[in-house]
Amino acid sequence: MLILECPNCGVMADETELSAGGEAHLKRFGPGSSDEEFEGYLFHRANPKGVHFERWRHANGCGKWFHAARCTNTLEVFATYTAQTSTVPDTVIAAIKAKRPDWSHET
Amino acid sequence: MSTRLASGGRLIDRHTTRTFTFNGKRLSGHDGDTLASALLANGQTLMGRSFKYHRPRGVVASGAEEPNALMGIGEGGRFEPNQRATTTEIFDGLTAKTQNHWPSLDFDVGAVNAMVPRLLPAGFYYKTFMFPRPFWKHVFEPVIRKSAGLGAAPKDRDADRYEHFYAHVDLLVAGGGIAGLQAALRAGQAGLRVLLVEQTAHWGGRAPVDGVEIGGKPAEEWINDTLQALEGMENVCIRTRSMASGVYDHGYALVYERLTDHAPEMGGPRHRLWRVRAGQIITATGAIERPLSFAGNDIPGVMLASALRDYVVNWGISPGDRTVIVTNNDDAYRTALVLHEAGLAVPAIVDARPSATGDLPQAAREAGIRVLTGTGIAEVKGRKSVTGVVLCAQAGEGAATDEIACEAVAMSGGWSPVVHLWSHCGGKLIWDAERSHFRPDAARAPTGHDGKPFVITAGAASGAETAGDVLADAKTAAGAAADALGRSLPDLDAAGTNDPHEEPMAPVWIMPQGAGPAKRMKMWLDYQNDVKVSDVRLAAQEGYESVEHTKRYTTLGMATDQGKLSNINGLATLAGALNAEIPAVGTTTFRPPYTPISMGAIAGEARDATFQPLRRTPIHDYHEDQGAYMEPVGHWRRPYTYPKTGESHAESVHREVLATRNSLGLLDASTLGKILVKGPDAGKFLDMLYTNMMSTLKPGKCRYGLMCNENGFLMDDGVVARLDEDTFLVHTTSGGAEHTHAHMEDWLQCEWWDWKVHTVNITEQFAQIAVVGPNARKLLEKMGGDMDLSAEALPFMGWAEGRIGGFDARVFRISFSGELSYEIAIPASQGRAFWDAALEAGGTWDITPYGTEALHIMRAEKGFIMIGDETDGTVIPQDLGLNWAISKKKEDYMGKRAQARSHMTDPTRWKLVGLETTDGSTLPDGAYCIAAGTNANNQRNVQGRVTSTYHSPTLGRGIAMGLVLNGPDRMGDIVEFNKVDGGTVAAKIVDPVFFDKDGEKQNV
Amino acid sequence: MFEVSALNGAVADGPTRVEEAGLQGMVTLKGDLGSAKMKAALKAVGPGLPDRRQIVEKGDRAVAWMARDEVLILCPHAEANAVVTELEAALAGEHFLAVNVSDARAMLRVTGPGAREALAKLAPVDLHPESFRAGEMRRTRLAQVPAAIWLSETDEISVIAFRSVAKYVFDILALSADDSGRVGYFG
C-alpha cells in the first residue's frame, strides 16, 4: 500500500486515492509510423526490476496526473513530478543517482 | 486431571461467576478467564482433534500461538469457527464446540487414521489419489473433505457490524509487554504521536508471571505506573484486544481490534480494523517458546512450560498433581518453582543439557526438586491424557532409564522471537547460533517510501532474553524511532531489574538425539497440520530440499499456524535430514495476518445496503414506487421494465414498445454521460477523440460519433452537441461517463497539455428524460413554455434551450428508437417534478414509461449498435459497417493507426449483419454461426456470432444482429446457429435495419 | 417549489448528527488560477482565490481550491446561474470554463463530538486535529466514492459528493457516526 506525494495538490496520497497508469514517457506513434514503432508504442514495456518511471492519477483527489520515479523492487520513491513533460527532468535523475550511484538512465 | 487451585490467579476475579457451554455441557468460570483456562479449571484437558489423524489434543499454549484448542464459538449469526480457546475470553452465555471429530470429541471414528499413520505420510494425498482421474472429483475429494478440514463455515448471515478506522501516527508500537510499554513511554515523552496496541486484554506480557522486578518493585507496579503515565499523554493512544496483524509497504499496518467479542451485550461494531499509516513501527511482539520433539509430545497434558506457568499464575490452574519439566534451558525452571510454590509436585526436571548450574536450577534444587541432567523423555505415556513419562539418556537411542507417573509435562525447547511483523514487509533474519533462533537482522530492515528503515524491533522480539536486556533494547528502539522521525529523546536510564543469571540453552532438535523411526513417527512438529519429524525427513529423502517446497509438501507451518510453534524445529529437522546448517536451509515466508482476522473486519462497512455505492437518478424513487424491475448498469440501477399487476416481464416490455411506437413513451435517460468540453482547441481535441469530424459541427446541431482507443477498438459512442463556438457537450453511454472523462483528461494532461481545452463531467447535473413517440411533440406543446419545437424550428439532430412548462430545459432532437423523440435535459433538482408533469400531461396519449429492455428492442429494430453488445473490446467500427462515421480526411485520430494494422484490415474479419430466423423464433444470445468441419479440438468450426437478439413486438418475430464472415456480401444466405439444447436454428442474413429503413418516423 | 436536493434534507440524529444540507449552489470554474483576471473575478463573486487546498468563506459564499486549474464556488442555489453569468463576463477573452454543478452534487454535514471519527472511518486521510484544520479543502474518497470534505468549526465537517451516490454517502456516514462505535482516538 504505497503513499505517493501528488505534486499537483501536495497531498501525501494513500494508494487508494490513486489510480496507476503504467509506464511513463512513452512516445506516441500515429498514422505513418512503421509497424515496429507502433508495436513498441502499444505493447513493449520496460518492466524493470529497479528504477521505473510511472504514470499515476490522483483520481480520488485533485484528479490530476503526475509521474513517479520509483524502485519496483524496494518500492522506494525517488521523486514525483509533473505529467507535463515527455522526458525525465534532470532534478529527478539527480535524485535517483544520489540514491543509486550505479544506475544510469537509458532512453 | 486439571483443576482450579484454591487461591491465586492474578487475572481472574473469583467473586464473579460466568456460565458457558462446552459441547452442550454447562460450565462456569470467572471474569478474566479465557475459554482454555476455564476448561482446564473444569478438568477438561481434551479440547480438540487433530487435522489429519484425529488424535486427541489438549491445549499446548496460553496465547495466540495455540495450535490445538480451536473451537467453533457462538451460534447462528454469531457462529465463528477455528477460534483459539486461549484467546477467547469467557462471558455469560458463551457457547463453544470442538471441531474436527465425528461423532464426538471423546469417540472419533477418524482416529483410525492415527492407528495407521504409516499409511498417511507426507504427500499421501498427492501420491494416492491420482488415478483414475474422474475418481478425484466424485469419490476421493468428497470423502477427504468430509473427514479433513478445520471448522465448518458459518451458515447464517453475520449478525454483527464492523468498521475500519484510518489512523496516521508517528509511531505504532505493536505489543504491550514491558518492551512495548517502555518504548511507547519514551516515544510519548518525546512528543511523538503514538499508537500502542496489545493483542490480549492485559498489559505487561510475561514479566509479572516470570517474577520480574523493575526498579526494585514487582513488574506489575511498574506496568501500572507506566500505563498511568501513557494514559495521561494526549499524544498517545493505547488499546488492548488489538492485534497488529500485518505490516505492509510504506509504513502501512493493520490492527485488528476486537471490541465486543468478550462482551456481546455491549452493542456497536464487533471488530474494528485500524488502517494505520505509521512513520515508524516498533514491533515489541515478544517471543514464543518452542516445543521439544519427543515421542508423544502431542498427548493432552503436554504443554509449553511457559504456558503451564501462565495457567498457574494468571488463572490459578493446577495442570495436575504432578508435572514433569523437560527442558534444554534455564527458563523452564521458573515453571518448576511456580508449581512448587503453588504446592504442586514436580517429580523431576528433565534437562537435556549435561549440566545445569544457573541461578534458577540452583533455586530448584534448593526447593528440593530433583534435577536430572543429560536426560530426555523417551516416550510420553497415555492416550487422551498424560499418565507418565519414560526417561532415557538424551545422548542415546531411547532405552528406558526410569519411568515417572505424572499428569502433565511442561516442555521448553528455548525461545524464538516473534519475527512475523518484522518479516511481513521484507525484514530479513539472522541465525543466532548461541540461542538457536532466527532473529531480526537490524541491518536489513523493511524500508519505506524514502528508502529508509521503518520497522524496529524491541525486547524479546529482538532476541533479548532477560528483563533488563528487554527494557534496554526497548529504550534503544524508541530512540532509534525518534531519530528516524527527526525527534530527540531525553536520555534517561532504564530502570534496573533483578534478573537471575541464566546459563546458555543447548539446541535439542530431537529427543533422544539417536531416536529411531518408530519414535520419530510420534514426534509432532506442527500440531495443527499433523506434521511429524518423520514427515519432514521423508520429504527431504524424496528430494524436497527447499524449505518452501517442504512446507507445501508436508503442510508444515501452513494455514493459521504460520510457523509460530513449528518453524524452527521443522527447519532444524530438515537441516538435519539434509546434513545442512539451519541458516543454509533458510526459513519460510511469514505472511500476514499474524493470526486470522474476521472477514467482517476486512469488509468493514461494505455489506448489505452499503456493500457498494448504488447510483440513483433523480427519478429513482418513482421507479421503485412503481415496482419497476431494476437492472444494474455499471453502479446505476435502471428500470428494465415496469410490469403491471399480473404481467410477465416479456408482456410489459411488449406493451412498452408498442405504446411508444404507436403513441407516447417516457424514458429516464439520466444515466447518459454528459461531459462539457470547452476551449479554443476543443474541436481539434474532439477530432482526435472521435473517428469522425466534430470540429465542423455547427452550433445548435448534434452529431453521432464513435470513440476508439489507441488499439483501434470501439470504446464508446454517443451524440455530441455544439453549444457555441468554443463549447461542446459530449454524450457518452450510460456508465461510460467516468471512463470517457478520465480518458479525455489523460490525453489533455499527459500528451496534449499545450492544447487549450477544459472538461467537466456534468452527467449528474441533469435529469435527462426522453419523450418518444408520434405524440411526443404534442405532449411538449401541451406542457407549454417558450420553445418552438416544430420540425422547422427544431429539426432532427438539432438542439435548443428554453422553458418547457415551468422547467429549465435543453432539448435535443435525437432518437435512439427511430421515433419522433426529444431528449430533454432538466436540472436534476427539477427532474422528478418534470417527470411527474410529463406523466400527468401525457395521460391524453396514454403515456407509458418504458425501461431499458424496450429501449434495447427499439434500437435493435432500427439496427443501432450498442456498446457492450455489438462491441466487446475486440471490435472496430469497420466491423460494424460504420465506415460512414470514420473520417477519411483526418490525418489522425485515436485508433486510426491501429486500424491500419494487417489484422484490422483483413477482409475475413466478421462483419455486422441482421439475422432473421426462418421460423420466426428468437436466436439465443451469443450463439455461434456454424461453419463446415471441425477444428483441431474436434469442435465445430464457426463463422460468426450473435451480438444482440430480441423478440420484436413491432414486427412480431425474432430479430438479431451478429458478426458473420463476409456477412454483408451474403445477404439472403441461410446460415445455422447453435442452440443451448444442442440443436441448431436457421437464420437468413439480412440488412440490420429491420424497421422504418428510411427514417420516416423520426424525421417529422 | 419543485426543486429538491438529492435526499431532501434527510437527517440521522444522535450525539453526532448527519444531515443532508439541502439545495446548495455550486459553480465549477476552470482556468488559469494565476491570472489577474481570474483573481479579480473570484473577488467579485466571493471571497477571492484561496491558497492551494484551502477554502475561504465569506457570508453565504465560499471559494474552494479543487485542483491547480480549478476552484469551486459555493453560493445560494438560486444564485448559481447568476454567478456563472458574472464569471463569464469577468473572464471574457480568457480560456476558462464556468458551469453550474449545483445539482450534480449533494452536500452533507456531520456535526458533533464524533464528526472527525466518523470521517476517519471512511477516508484514508489524517484527520487528527493537528493535521486537519478548519479551512482545508480535502478531496479524497469516502469508502468507495470520491468526495470533498472540510472542517468549518470544531465539530462540523461538510461533505460534497456526487448526487447519484448521496444516499450511499449518507448511509455510510450515519453508520460511522453512530454513537455505539465511538473510537475515542481524537480525544
* DSSP letter assigned to residue B140: I
Neighbour subunits, C (≥3 Cβ pairs < 8 A) = A, B
Distance CA B127, CA B393 (A): 38
- Domain B620-868 carries which CATH code? 3.30.1360.120
B419 is written with which cell numbers?
519475527
Structural domain includes residue A40 = yes
* Other CB atoms within 10 Å distance of the CB of residue B130: 11
Secondary structure (3-state) at B624: helix
pLDDT (0 to 100) of residue B148: 57
Contact B194, B171 (CB under 8 A): yes
Min mean pLDDT across B120-134, B442-456, C66-80 is at: B120-134
| DSSP collapsed to 3 states, B456-504 | EECHHHHCCCCHHHHHHHHHHHHHHHHHHCCCCCCCCCCCCECCCCCCC
Q: State the best of C72, C164, C172 to mutate against chain B, taking most chain B CBs within 10 Å.
A: C164
| Of B831, B666, B639, B667, residue with least CA distance to C104 | B831
Q: Is A54 a domain residue? A: yes
Query: What pLDDT, on the 0 to 100 scale, is given for residue B126?
Result: 61
Written as nine digits, the cell of B503 is 546459563
C-alpha cell at B848: 407509458
pLDDT tens string B141-172: 666 655 555 788 899 999 999 999 999 999 99
Report CB contact under 8 Å: C138, A11: yes
Q: Are C37 and C48 in contact (CB under 8 A)?
A: no
Q: Do C165 and B765 touch (CB under 8 A)?
A: no
Phi and psi at residue B366, to the nearest 5°: -65, -30
B592 φ, ψ to 5°? -70, 160
CATH of the structural domain B162-287+417-484, one choice from 1.10.3720.10, 3.50.50.60, 3.40.30.10, 3.40.50.740: 3.50.50.60
Q: Do B766 and C103 touch (CB under 8 A)?
A: yes
Q: Can you tell me the mean pLDDT for C144-150?
A: 98
Rg of chain A (C-alpha set): 15
Q: If pLDDT is split at 50, 70 and 90, which confidence band does B606 have?
A: very high
Tell me the HSE value of B969 on the side-chain side, using a 13 A CA sphere: 6
- Is A104 among the domain residues? no
Structure confidence at residue B279 (pLDDT): 98
B860-875 mean pLDDT: 96
By residue range, what is the domain housing residue A36? 3-99
- Give the whole-angstrom CA distance, residue B576 versus residue B557: 18
Q: Measured in Å, how far apart are chain C's first and last C-alpha atoms?
A: 44
Looking at chain C from residue 131 to 170, which residues have their Cβ under 8 Å from any Cβ of chain A?
138-141, 146
Task: Cell numbers for B394, please give them.
Answer: 538424551
CB atoms A14 and B277 under 8 Å: yes
Phi-psi region of B579 (alpha: psi -120 to 50; beta: other; left: phi over 0): left
Taking the C-alpha atoms of residue B83 and residue B462, their distance in angstroms, rounded to an integer, is 29
Q: Does C125 touch chain B (CB under 8 A)?
A: yes
**B132-151 as b/e: b if 16+ CB within 10 A:** eeeeeeeeeeeeeeeeeeeb
Residue B109 has pLDDT above 80, yes or no: no
The rounded distance, in Å, linking the Cα atoms of B475 and B484 is 14
pLDDT interval class at B561 (50, 70, 90): confident
| Bridge partner residues of B164 (DSSP) | B273
User: What's the fold here for domain B292-370+380-410?
Assistant: FAD/NAD(P)-binding domain (3.50.50)
What pLDDT does residue B120 have? 63
Q: What residue ranges do the domains of chain B occupy? A: 162-287+417-484, 292-370+380-410, 508-580, 620-868, 907-990
Radius of gyration of chain C (CA): 17
Q: Using DSSP bridges, classify how beta strands B673-678 and B727-732 pair: parallel, antiparallel or unpaired.
A: antiparallel
For residues B804 and B695, is the Cβ–Cβ distance under 8 A?
no
B354's grid cell: 549435561
Residue B195: pLDDT band by 50, 70, 90 thresholds?
very high
Q: What is the mean pLDDT of residues C152-161?
A: 88
ipTM of the complex: 0.98
Residue B77, pLDDT score: 94
Kind of pairing, strands B287-289 and B415-417?
antiparallel
Place of cell 498511568: B228
What does pLDDT average to over chain C? 96
Q: To the nearest whole percent, how much of chain B has pLDDT over 70? A: 95
Q: pLDDT digit string (tens) for B356-371?
A: 999 999 999 999 999 9
Q: Give the span between the Cα atoms of B230 and B236, in whole angstroms.
A: 6
pLDDT of residue B113: 60
Q: Let me know if C173 is exposed, middle or buried by CB neighbors in 10 A (0-12, 13-18, 19+).
A: buried
What structural domains and CATH numbers belong to chain C? 11-22+104-178 (3.30.1360.120), 25-103 (3.30.70.1520)
What is the least distance, in Å, from the CA of C1 to any CA of chain A?
35
Angle between helices B533-541 and B547-554 (to 10 degrees): 120
Cβ–Cβ under 8 Å, residues B729 and B674:
yes
Pick B907-990's CATH classification: 2.40.30.110, 3.90.1150.10, 3.30.530.20, 3.10.450.50.
2.40.30.110
Residues belonging to chain A: 107
Element (H, E) at B843: none
DSSP string, B764-777: GGEEEEEEESTTHH
For the cut 90, the answer to whether the pLDDT of residue C152 exceeds it is no
The closest of B417, B413, B414, B412 to B473, measured between CA atoms, is B417
A63 touches chain C (CB under 8 A): yes
Q: If pLDDT is split at 50, 70 and 90, which confidence band does B55 have? A: confident
Q: How confident is the model at residue B117 (pLDDT cuts 50, 70, 90)?
A: low
Q: Is A105 domain-assigned?
A: no
Q: CA-CA distances (angstroms) from residue C14 to B471, C115, C174?
A: 45, 11, 9
Are B186 and B174 in contact, with CB atoms under 8 Å apart? no
Q: What pLDDT is stored for residue B528 in this prediction?
A: 83
Q: What is the mean pLDDT of residues C114-134?
A: 96
Q: Could you say which residues from 709 to 738 on chain B have a Cβ atom under 8 Å away from some Cβ of chain A?
A: 710-711
pLDDT tens digits, B303-342:
999 999 999 999 999 999 999 999 999 999 999 999 999 9
Res B100: pLDDT? 73
- Is pLDDT above 70 for A16? yes
Q: Determine, for residues A30 and B451 on separate chains, whether the beta-carbon distance falls below 8 Å.
A: no
| Those residues with Cβ within 8 angstroms of residue B848's Cβ, 6 or more apart along the chain or in another chain | B655, B656, B659, B660, B663, B664, B665, B666
Consecutive H or E run containing B236? strand B236-239
Neighbours of B851 (CB within 10 A): 24
Which residue in chain A has the smallest CA separation from B166? A14
Pick from B454, B496, B450, B448: nearest CA to B475:
B496
Confidence of residue B135 (pLDDT cuts 50, 70, 90): low
Alpha-carbon gap, residue B534 to B920, rounded angstroms: 71
A11, A14, A64: residue with CB nearest C68: A64
pLDDT tier, B603 (very low <50, low <70, confident <90, very high otherwise): very high
The pLDDT value recorded for residue B118 is 56
Cα–Cα distance, B140 to B946 (Å, whole number): 41
Cα four-point dihedral sign B679, B683, B687, B692? positive
Of B594, B597, B52, B596, nearest to B288 by C-alpha is B594
Exposed, middle or buried: residue B930 (CB in 10 Å: 0-12, 13-18, 19+)?
Answer: middle
B349 bridge partner residues: B325, B371
Task: For the beta carbon of residue A30, count every other beta carbon within 10 angstroms.
Answer: 18
According to the model, what pLDDT value does residue B130 have? 59
* Grid coordinates belonging to B194: 503514538
**What angle (nearest 5°) sits at the alpha carbon of residue A99, between those of residues A97 and A102?**
55
Residue B107 C-alpha from the chain's centroid: 37
pTM of the model: 0.95
Q: Which of residues 170-209 of B touch C (CB under 8 A)?
A: 193
The DSSP annotation for B376-416 comes to: EEEEEEESSSEEEEEEEETTSS----EEEE-SEEEEE--EE
With CA atoms as reference, report the closest residue to B324 among B397, B398, B387, B408: B408
DSSP per residue over B961-986, as a string?
EEEEETGGG-TT-EEEEE-TTS-EEE
| The pLDDT value given to residue C187 | 74
Partners of residue A61 in chain C, C-beta under 8 Å: 139-140
Q: What is the pLDDT of residues B416-425, one digit of tens each?
A: 999 999 999 9
C-beta atoms of A74 and B746 within 8 A = no
Looking at residue B982, its pLDDT comes to: 87
φ, ψ (nearest 5 deg) of residue A64: -95, 150
Residue B445 reports pLDDT greater than 90: yes
The alpha-carbon gap from C167 to the nearest alpha carbon of chain A, in Å, equals 19
Interchain CB contact of B889 with A (< 8 Å): no
* B493 vs B475: CA distance, rounded Å: 9
pLDDT value at position B152?
85
Q: Which residues 40-99 of chain C have a CB within 8 Å of chain B?
A: 69, 77, 95-97, 99
H or E element in which residue B913 lies: strand B910-917
Distance from CA of B169 to the nearest CA of C (A): 9
Q: How far is CA B959 from CA B710, B725, B915, in A?
A: 33, 42, 6
pLDDT band, residue B557 (cuts 50/70/90)? confident
Q: Which amino acid is at B163?
A: E
pLDDT in tens, B505-537: 999 999 999 999 999 999 999 988 888 999 999
Is B508-580 CATH 1.10.10? yes
Residue B202: exposed, middle, or buried by beta-carbon count in 10 A (0-12, 13-18, 19+)?
middle
**Grid coordinates of B239:** 488499546
**Domains identified in chain A, total number:** 1
Band (B694; pLDDT cuts 50, 70, 90): very high
| Whether C124 and B166 lie within 8 Å, measured CB to CB | yes
C47 touches C56 (CB < 8 A) = yes
Phi, psi values for residue B622, rounded to 5°:
-60, -50
Gap from B511 CA to chain C (nearest CA, Å) = 50
Supply the CATH number for residue A28's domain: 3.30.2270.10
The two beta strands, B162-174 and B194-197, are parallel
| One-letter identity of residue B728 | F
How many cross-chain Cβ pairs, B to C, lie less than 8 Å apart?
137
B288: closest CA among B562, B34, B555, B585? B562
Q: A10 and C146 in contact by Cβ < 8 A?
A: no
Whether A106 is in a domain gets the answer no
**How far apart are the C-alpha atoms of B219 and B882, rounded to whole Å?**
82
> Is 60 exceeded by the pLDDT of residue C145?
yes
List chains touching B (3+ CB pairs under 8 A). A, C
Q: Tell me the pLDDT of chain B averaged across its residues.
A: 94
The arithmetic mean of pLDDT across residues B925-949, rounded, is: 96
Task: Indicate yes or no: CB of B268 within 8 angstroms of CB of C104.
Answer: no
pLDDT (average), residues B871-879: 96
Out of A9, A60, A64, the one facing C141 most closely (by C-beta) is A60
B753 in reach of chain A (CB within 8 A) = yes
